[in-house]
Structure 1
Amino acid sequence: MGAEHIRRWESGALAHAVSDPFGQGPVPWLRGSENYFDDTGHVVPWYADPDLGHGGTRTADDVHRQIKGFISTGAAAPGEAIDFHITVDPPQQFTVDIYRIGHYGGDGAAQITTSPRLSGIVQPAPLTADRTVSCHHWWQSWRLQIPSYWSIGAYVAVLTTVDGYRSHIPFTVRDDQPADLLLVLPDVTWQAYNLYPEDGRTGASLYHAWDEQGGLLGEEDAAVTVSFDRPYAGAGLPLHVGHAYDFIRWAERYGYDIAYADTRDLHAGRVDPARYRGMVFPGHDEYWSVPMRRTVERARDGGTSLVFLSANTMYWQVSLSPSPSGVPDRLLTCRKRRGPGKPALWREIDRPEQQLLGIQYAGRVPDPHPLVVRNAEHWLWEATGAGEGDELDGLVAGEADRYFPRTPLPEHESRILLAHSPYLDSEGVKRHQETSVYRAPSGAIVFASGTFAWSPALDRPGHVDPRIQRATANLLDRICKRD
């Protein structure tokens, strides 16, 4: 089948992913390409699955909705069930293959189970009210009963129609057992960026919506509230999901004892930080509710260490509310700078992020720059081979944090900046990125990488940096008391 000429927004690439070298990240069945269409507007196939013959499967999109779906719960535990709501157009049979993300000898994921062949139907059109798009009225398509013996972790459901269209639904299997580290998947931020349906008409995120001509509108016209009751745009994987998967593959390879949760688990009080030596935030984690922040501050003050491996963390304050049918935490609201009431930036309500992270968001990085090592004698850089002033190529990318001297620091026993990296912003103005670590009075270590490129450097093909791998191991080993 020849590549079909389509408009840019129909490609599944969209507004943020195309310019972000750390957007999706390779999942094992995805090709490594970061672009989903070429310069002429022709689709580049994502898939290279030899079992599917010539050219592999085709990505479902939000215009034709060949196959798209979502789950009606957040993270679930072994023994619980997950309900899938899936639309198939034209109606035909489909299957759901369940994969767990991990190292798996370099494969990056393992297939855990496959559904029986299911009958697909065309679900009703999404409902829209004040830019909020919801599919909560879709019929249930399949129920996955999670066996008690399944490992906790990050999972992906791969939906495939008989005629070879495919999309994805990520989900988390969690439990309450103690572990050295709790990995927190940023599902609240994933949903904030979700433009489903990316159809040039009805989709909206907290960043974008469409005008009458199918043009992309900016933040002032975007949604104020978005729903979890809808698929993710394009191929069904959230923007930046790759950051978390990069960390998971690397950490499971080296045998770290990891528990899993979503940010909505933090919000709802389902996380007891005392069960863990450290909490790891592996990806872009920009949107935080008051209960999320309260839980994480309580963790630090109780001696649980915190590891932030991205940048632009905890920037917007959000609230979560129930769906129309009363299911908790299915609607995400962030007023940004619109309308009455208090502003939505944490730093504008006198709770700057730096008071938790030690640094805070400084801006976008249009082109990757080197991360410049500072204080190379510190234990984080031990045995990495990194010397004072060394430049780690491409490690300041996407977005960057730095220390703000006029903003209060958290209480600390010790504090140090481990990188100071100049870069040029989109206006050509020279700015700098910083990496921070401090020890709280409780003994907790709080690390913030201050760049999007840290997690990809752990296990992303083409981005791996052994110095970052060793520095991260130094950090986690100290937190887990391995040293």
Structure 2
Amino acid sequence: MKASSEESQEASAAAGSWPTKRISGSGAAWKSLWVEVPDKHGLPAAWCYSDRMGYSPGETVKLYISSTVPKLDIVVKKDGFTPRTLTTWNDVSVDFQEVPAQPYMNGCGWQETITLELPQDVAAGAYIVEMRDSKQNGNQPALGHHIFFVRSNRGKTDKTVLLVASTCTWAAYNDWGGASHYIGLHKDFPDGFSPILSSQRPWARGQVWLPADAPRNVPKTRPRLPEQPYWGSKEWAFANGYARYYASAGWATYERPFVIWAEQAGYDVHVIAQEDLELNPEAIAQYSCLVFVGHCEYWSAPMRHTVEAFVERGGRVARFAGNFFWQIRLREGGSGQICYKSQARDYDPIRHENPKLMTSLWEDPMVGYPGAETFGVNGARGIYAATFGIAQRSSRGFNVFRHKHWSLDATGLGYADTFGDEASIFAYEVDGLDYTFVDGLPVPTGKDGAPAGLEIVAMNWASNSEYGLPEHSFHHERGDSEARFIASILEVTPSPTAEATEKYSRGSGMMVSFKRGIGEIFCAATCEWVRGLIEKDFYTDRITRNVLDRFVLRD
């Protein structure tokens, strides 16, 4: 579905009361277009981006701000279990800065508003920029938020973990300015998605900060009767003026809850942007443990190479995240990213000269670099559980198979036990492998890149197709389109058979463990693992501690 700019502006006339125009257009109900574009005449609002995502102590952070109110109070604070204020500015004069054509691709090009000289002793971590109307004296909600990261130039403690924020996935879902890698106003691609995105624009509303009652992508309980699919986070977002994909990717939904849990549990958490794995690979050199959480879908080949080299020389990686799916390429200097996704074979300009770097599935035979070679699991072998109209009544927990594995120490779990289901940790998007059963235990076949010696500790099943009652099909988000796409890529045919489509509708999600070089990787391949930490699920908490303690305390 596409909408011209004229149609979009006309359709947005009734949406001017929100801080951002909720541009919409005609089309199927489930594909109604709704993206963020700043509105000068909407409710009071402020937007900000920085010249980079990550900085070292002593460097200068440049902030570019636009606002519908003339003066702002701006606070920069280190986020976490106990937030700490770094600096405050009051009564900062700010103009409303217009956006150029296609800001999602070209960037905003705003004038610099204010700069921050980072102290040499600044603590490593994630820093939130909070903007408020100066006239409100701090009594009203903030008008906008931004985030940047500060790398460490100091020694680590014996309980320091380095969290790599999944900023490339955040960027893919960021529709600020009119388009994301999914949907928008770019008239040249299906559903208006943009294969080229700029980092020089604000994050969509809800990606950095959310109220405590914001729903997640997966409902808390399973339906008791057959019913139409329901995606409460989108309805809540539309009703409250937040971005349509706030629950799919962002600091507020995934990384922040992990940092709060980890710091409360006694771990020292440093944070970097994912782009640093390619642009500043030396940033991870001093650490023994890298952590990934939440929705971790978009990666470049150099980022993977950095992680693999880290593990080869003795590093450990804890991945509490799901959906390792698309290859991207960073734009020059990290100014954005490129991903043609399902259109890559037809439109990616690099597809002929260097197909290995084509921005398609990692499992695409033309790319030939399955995600399992890095993290032990593949995105196309898993995908959805308990979301859209897919597996709505799945158990939402992991089934235990190798109960003697070290990650399950002190849990009391045995073969055939399930854990995490009460907190719905096995949900949204998951990764799996081609596998078989031997004497009641799942074993990887090795056909899709699984490393030798990999153990499947626990698993559950997922799907790529929506089923249910025929009268509910109008409400489907996916149907079997994704299964057909995966089948077309992996079976190397533009028209997969019904049997092939059904085959790739069947997936799995896995908790795996394996060694590489003198290092080690543990992967609990589900986006919603962090939900178990949020809801204080004993088993999720205990397993997470087992992994982190083994990885940060062992020399």
- 1:175 paired to 2:152: yes
Q: 1:115 aligns to what SS in structure 2?
A: strand
Which residue does 1:420 correspond to in 2?
Answer: 459
The residue type paired with residue 401 of structure 1 is D
Which residue does 1:67 correspond to in 2?
Answer: 46
Deviations 1:348-378 (A, max 9, x none): 1110001111111111222462222221221
* 1:130-209 correspondence runs (5 A): 132-135=105-108, 137-162=109-134, 164=140, 166-179=143-156, 180-197=160-177, 203-209=178-184
Deviations 1:293-313 (A, max 9, x none): 111111111111111111012
- 1:231 paired to 2:202: yes
Residues 70 and 422 of structure 1, relative CA distance in 2, 3 Å threshold: same
Structure 1 residue 210: Cα displacement: 3.3
The residue type paired with residue 380 of structure 1 is S
Structure 1 residue 396: Cα displacement: 0.8
* Mapped contact 2:294–2:529 kept (Cα < 8 A): no
- 1:439 paired to 2:515: yes
Q: 1:332 aligns to what SS in structure 2?
A: strand
Deviations 1:48-83 (A, max 9, x none): xxxxxxxxxxxx983337211111122112222211
Structure 1 residue 220: Cα displacement: 5.4
**Matching residue within 300, 310, 317 for 1:306:** 317
Deviations 1:123-175 (A, max 9, x none): 1223327x62411x211111122222321111211111235551100111112
* Mapped contact 2:180–2:193 kept (Cα < 8 A): yes
Deviations 1:184-236 (A, max 9, x none): 11112211111002xxxxx0111111389xxxx98553111100111112246
Residues 398 and 188 of structure 1, relative CA distance in 2, 3 Å threshold: same
How many angstroms apart in 2 are the aligned matches of 1:419 and 1:12? 44
How many angstroms apart in 2 are the aligned matches of 1:437 and 1:426? 28
Structure 1 residue 283: Cα displacement: 2.7
Residues 231 and 470 of structure 1, relative CA distance in 2, 3 Å threshold: same
The residue type paired with residue 305 of structure 1 is R
How many angstroms apart in 2 are the aligned matches of 1:139 and 1:207? 29
**Matching residue within 75, 82, 90 for 1:97:** 75
* 1:70-469 correspondence runs (5 A): 70-89=49-68, 91-104=69-82, 109-128=83-102, 132-135=105-108, 137-162=109-134, 164=140, 166-179=143-156, 180-197=160-177, 203-210=178-185, 221-235=192-206, 237=208, 239-241=249-251, 242-271=253-282, 273-313=284-324, 315-322=325-332, 328-338=333-343, 339-340=347-348, 341=351, 342=355, 343=358, 344-348=360-364, 349-361=367-379, 362-365=382-385, 366=387, 367=392, 369-392=396-419, 393=421, 394-404=424-434, 405=445, 407-409=447-449, 411-412=451-452, 414-423=453-462, 426-428=465-467, 431-440=507-516, 442-458=517-533, 460=534, 463-469=535-541
Q: 1:271 aligns to what SS in structure 2?
A: helix
Q: 2:277 aligns to what SS in structure 1?
A: helix
* Mapped contact 1:167–1:236 kept (Cα < 8 A): no
How many angstroms apart in 1 are the aligned matches of 2:536 and 2:172? 28
Q: 1:451 aligns to what SS in structure 2?
A: coil
* Mapped contact 1:418–1:434 kept (Cα < 8 A): yes
* Mapped contact 2:179–2:186 kept (Cα < 8 A): no
Q: 1:467 aligns to what SS in structure 2?
A: helix
The residue type paired with residue 399 of structure 2 is V
Q: 1:113 aligns to what SS in structure 2?
A: strand
Residues 172 and 389 of structure 1, relative CA distance in 2, 3 Å threshold: same
How many angstroms apart in 1 are the aligned matches of 2:313 and 2:22? 42
The residue type paired with residue 289 of structure 1 is S
* Mapped contact 1:10–1:61 kept (Cα < 8 A): no
Tell me the TM-score normalized by structure 1. Answer: 0.77
Q: 1:252 aligns to what SS in structure 2?
A: helix
When structure 1 is superposed on structure 2, of 356-365 and 368-377 the one drifting more is 368-377
Residues 75 and 350 of structure 1, relative CA distance in 2, 3 Å threshold: same
When structure 1 is superposed on structure 2, of 91-100 and 173-182 the one drifting more is 173-182
Residues 319 and 430 of structure 1, relative CA distance in 2, 3 Å threshold: closer
Tell me the TM-score normalized by structure 2. Answer: 0.68
Structure 2: gaps (5+ residues) = 1-12, 24-35, 209-245, 435-444, 468-504
* 1:5-24 correspondence runs (5 A): none
Structure 1 residue 86: Cα displacement: 0.6
* Mapped contact 2:186–2:192 kept (Cα < 8 A): no
**Matching residue within 545, 550, 554 for 1:473:** 545
Q: 1:132 aligns to what SS in structure 2?
A: helix
How many angstroms apart in 2 are the aligned matches of 1:431 and 1:8? 43
How many angstroms apart in 1 are the aligned matches of 2:205 and 2:37? 5
* Mapped contact 2:511–2:525 kept (Cα < 8 A): yes
* Mapped contact 2:71–2:91 kept (Cα < 8 A): yes
Deviations 1:265-323 (A, max 9, x none): 1111343544221211123221111211111111111111111111012x21111123x
Question: Which structure dedicates a bigger proportion of its chain to helix?
Answer: 2
Residues 236 and 357 of structure 1, relative CA distance in 2, 3 Å threshold: closer
Structure 1: gaps (5+ residues) = 16-59, 198-202, 323-327
The residue type paired with residue 275 of structure 1 is Q
* Mapped contact 2:289–2:318 kept (Cα < 8 A): yes
How many angstroms apart in 1 are the aligned matches of 2:190 and 2:543? 37
How many angstroms apart in 2 are the aligned matches of 1:211 and 1:274? 40
Residues 142 and 255 of structure 1, relative CA distance in 2, 3 Å threshold: same
Structure 1 residue 12: Cα displacement: 7.5
The residue type paired with residue 305 of structure 2 is R
Residues 387 and 245 of structure 1, relative CA distance in 2, 3 Å threshold: same
The residue type paired with residue 318 of structure 1 is I
